[in-house]
């Protein structure tokens, strides 16, 4: 499998409030690279989000804004590449929200959600949250809601699913974006 696992953390409930982003690159079913950046959003931080991920306004004071980050990573979203996320609806909404906010073109890519694949392949799990799926599959996840840790975990979940179930049940859940 070839894909990019993506995870955003946000400053508040607004879709354009990304404050960190991580990508984990997978080629031929092997993790081959990682990207991480803090992002300085054009919006205020909400205390509840800070409580979840631990990122404070002062942590991103000197971080690049989203357009600078996008310049570095946009090539990963070209040619209908497969982008994977745990709860992909959230992460694809944040990506689209940031692109809209900064008036940047929306890329065309394929999306796969490991919450959906986990629900389909592991219906017996008590829930399909990232930390639960990782615990059940014995995938390390030390700092949940750290974008890089979450991206790594997401990539490992999909690789586990590929190894144990093959690609056919996964292909059926891929969506065009």
174: pLDDT confidence band, cut at 50, 70 and 90? Answer: very high
Please report the pLDDT score of residue 30 as a whole number. 97
DSSP per-residue letters across the chain: --EEEEEEEESSSSTT-EEEEEEEEEETTEEEEEEEEE---SSPPPHHHHHHH---GGGGTTSPPHHHHHHHHGGGG-TT-EEEETTHHHHHHHHHHHHHHTT-PPP--EEEEHHHHHHHH-TTSS---HHHHHHHHT---SSTT-HHHHHHHHHHHHHHHHHHH-SHHHHTT-EE-
What pLDDT, on a 0 to 100 scale, did the predictor assign at position 169?
95
pLDDT digits (tens, 9 = 90+) for 45-63: 999 999 999 999 999 999 9
pTM of the model: 0.95
Q: Name all domains of the chain by residue range, CATH numbers in brackets.
A: 3-176 (3.30.420.10)
Residue range 96-126, pLDDT digits in tens: 999 999 999 999 999 999 999 999 999 999 9
């Amino acid at each position: 499998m070839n894909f990019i696992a993506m995870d955003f953390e946000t400053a508040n409930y607004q879709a354009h409030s990304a404050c960190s982003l991580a990508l984990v690159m997978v080629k031929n079913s092997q993790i081959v690279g990682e990207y991480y950046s803090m992002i300085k959003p054009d919006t205020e931080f909400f205390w509840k989000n800070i409580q979840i991920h631990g990122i404070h306004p002062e942590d991103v004071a000197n971080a690049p804004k989203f357009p600078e980050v996008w310049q570095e990573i946009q090539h990963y979203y070209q040619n209908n590449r497969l982008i994977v996320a745990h709860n992909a609806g959230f992460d694809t909404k944040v990506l689209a929200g940031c692109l809209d906010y900064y008036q940047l073109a929306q890329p065309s890519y394929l999306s796969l959600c490991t919450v959906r694949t986990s629900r389909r392949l592991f219906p017996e799990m008590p829930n399909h949250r990232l930390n639960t799926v990782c615990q059940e599959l014995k995938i390390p996840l030390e700092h949940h809601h750290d974008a890089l840790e979450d991206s790594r975990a997401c990539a490992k979940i999909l690789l586990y699913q590929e190894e144990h179930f093959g690609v056919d049940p996964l292909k059926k859940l891929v969506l065009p974006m």
